[in-house]
Amino acid sequence: MPRKANVLRLFRYIRPHWRASAGILAAMMFTIGMDVLRPWPMKLLVDQVLGHQPLPPGLSRIRTFLPLAQGADGLLLWVVLSTLLIYAGGGLASAVETIAAVKLGQRMVYELGADLFLHVQRLSLRFHSRHPIGDTIARVTADPYCMQDLVNNALHPLLRSAGTLAAMFVVMWRVDPKLTALSVLVTPFLALTIRVSGDAMRMRHRERRDLEGRMMSVVEQALSAIPAVQAFVREELEHARFRAYAKDTASAYLRAIRADMRFSLFVGLVTAAGTAAIMWVGARDVLSGRLTVGAILVFLYYLGALYLPLSESTNTVSTVQSAAASADRVMEILDTPADVPDGPETWGGSVRGHVRFENVTFGYETNRPVVKGISFDARPGETVAIVGPTGAGKTTLVGLLIRFFDPWSGGIAVDGRDIRRLRVRALREQVAVVLQEPFVFPMTVAENIAYGRPSATRREIVAAATAANADGFIRRLPEGYDTVVGEKGATLSGGDPQWTC
């Protein structure tokens, strides 16, 4: 899917927050209005207070309703007060707008991250075996911040710039159409810059994000295998691997910064050239008496205000390209279909537990089957042992039963029902599995025992531990069943984690 489409698809996270978005837009419009009024007290000071020129008819009528507004001193007082009021109103509205936009951006970051985390957990073991865990963690925890960049540093500034541009253009046209037309001549050059530089910036930022994910994978792999790393004295080797990725990442970051700086430099040169042209033409108009000093000051203020949103809009391109790189990585995960699709059926009754494999063939790599033509029955009440050398496929058969994978051919049935017709959750809720590798979470012992059935009572937890001959060693722990175990059971003895999972 085109990368631009990936960015646009993420904006669906804005829809549930339309009220907050409307509030941000209202504050934005008020701020823009204050920005439009900001230079007019200066014009009144220069032309009317100091230059003794008559007030425009509209302001003359307003002056009659203002207290203490008669004479030069009265007008000066209201010029000073209006400056303060405009600044205070604009500053307050801008603060409200910024806080609301940041709050909205953070909410969408966590909503996207939560959706991504849920989808990652539902992907098959095949996916997880082929993707570095560290890179997946980076995609779940770091890349969703592209939503905040898109809202706070792209969409919000872009809308504000568009509103400011429209307001400033209207006012500037009323002040001097000729200078206004001259000021917008820079726009085609800015559009060309965006067109030429956009893809290069996105590629540089995508390269940086990918390398950051790989660097995180090095850390995750080393820390996950820390006993082996220390036992084989491989600390320096892992350190060298990290430094190599860090060096590549730093180089990619510099390449991304250089692309951004080249873009910003050209944009600055274009807007500086436009400002210089306006200063030349405007100053000559003042010298010829066609414009007043106050009018050219207002125009130059608006020119800066006009070029600032133009410059921000072009700088927003850099932000969008960086966010687009993260959006690509996010959508690559969200667009990955589950290898094991849900079936349409649930159990709808009690389960007897008659398991049948019929001519099952499966492998992890194409044309390399691990199990081939396997058929057997395991009836309720029977104890069936599957034996064979390492790599024969014993664990694979159990994985097929709970649909970690689906067979290439053949079928698996429980109580006569093809498990591919069942919802994955409904199937796994009926099957108890002791995995080959123990997984212990940094929770209490009781919570680990009840992980597959969170509603279990303490009596049921103790009964399960007693049946597994684990009650004795659990009660000898400092807090018994309420003892919090370390990461992966690090605070337990070598074989103890297997009793708690």
Instruction: Check which CATH number belongs to the domain holding 386 and give it.
Output: 3.40.50.300
Per the CB < 8 A criterion, the answer to whether 297 and 179 are in contact is no
Q: In terms of domains, do 383 and 462 share one?
A: no
What pLDDT, on a 0 to 100 scale, did the predictor assign at position 2?
A: 45
Q: In terms of domains, do 423 and 451 share one?
A: no
| Domain-embedded: residue 347 | no
Q: In terms of domains, do 234 and 281 share one?
A: yes
Give dist(CA 89, CA 318) in Å, integer: 31
For residue 206, give the nearest of 109, 117, 332 by alpha carbon: 332
Per the CB < 8 A criterion, the answer to whether 248 and 168 are in contact is no
| Domain-embedded: residue 339 | no
How many CA within 13 A on the CB side of residue 280? 8
What pLDDT, on a 0 to 100 scale, did the predictor assign at position 344?
A: 79
| Domain-embedded: residue 341 | no
Q: Which residues does the chain have with pLDDT short of 70?
A: 1-4, 48-49, 52, 56-69, 71-72, 190-191, 193-195, 197-199, 202, 227, 305-318, 348-349, 438, 486-501
Structure tokens at 117: 């985390």
Q: In terms of domains, do 328 and 392 share one?
A: no
**Residue 371, Cα to own-chain centre: how many angstroms?**
41
Q: In terms of domains, do 422 and 449 share one?
A: no
- Looking up tokens 């309703």, which residue turns up? 65
Last residue of a domain, one of 273, 303, 334: 334
Q: In terms of domains, do 323 and 394 share one?
A: no
| Domain-embedded: residue 343 | no
Last residue of a domain, one of 375, 396, 428: 428
What pLDDT, on a 0 to 100 scale, did the predictor assign at position 10?
A: 79
- Domain containing residue 489: 445-500
Q: In terms of domains, do 304 and 370 share one?
A: no
What DSSP assignment string belongs to 141-199? HTGGGHHHHHIIIIIHHHHHHHHHHHHHHHHHHHH-HHHHHHHGGGHHHHHHHHHHHHH
For residue 317, give the nearest of 154, 105, 143, 152 by alpha carbon: 154
Amino acid symbol at 480 = G
What pLDDT, on a 0 to 100 scale, did the predictor assign at position 199?
A: 67
| Domain-embedded: residue 435 | no
Give dist(CA 229, CA 238) in Å, integer: 8
**Residue 6, Cα to own-chain centre: how many angstroms?**
12
| Domain-embedded: residue 342 | no
Q: In terms of domains, do 268 and 149 share one?
A: yes
What pLDDT, on a 0 to 100 scale, did the predictor assign at position 1?
A: 44
What pLDDT, on a 0 to 100 scale, did the predictor assign at position 386?
A: 87
| Domain-embedded: residue 348 | no
- Looking up tokens 């993260």, which residue turns up? 326
Q: In terms of domains, do 420 and 450 share one?
A: no
Last residue of a domain, one of 303, 334, 365: 334
Is 240 strand, coil or helix? helix
In the chain, the number of structural domains is 3
Q: In terms of domains, do 265 and 405 share one?
A: no
CATH of the domain at 311: 1.20.1560.10
Per the CB < 8 A criterion, the answer to whether 220 and 141 are in contact is no
| Domain-embedded: residue 383 | yes
Is 307 strand, coil or helix? helix
Q: In terms of domains, do 118 and 238 share one?
A: yes
What pLDDT, on a 0 to 100 scale, did the predictor assign at position 235?
A: 80
Q: In terms of domains, do 230 and 135 share one?
A: yes
Give dist(CA 426, CA 346) in Å, integer: 6
Give dist(CA 375, CA 421) in Å, integer: 19
Give dist(CA 379, CA 393) in Å, integer: 21
DSSP state of 68: T
Q: List the end-to-end C-alpha distance of the chain, in Å, as a whole number.
A: 42
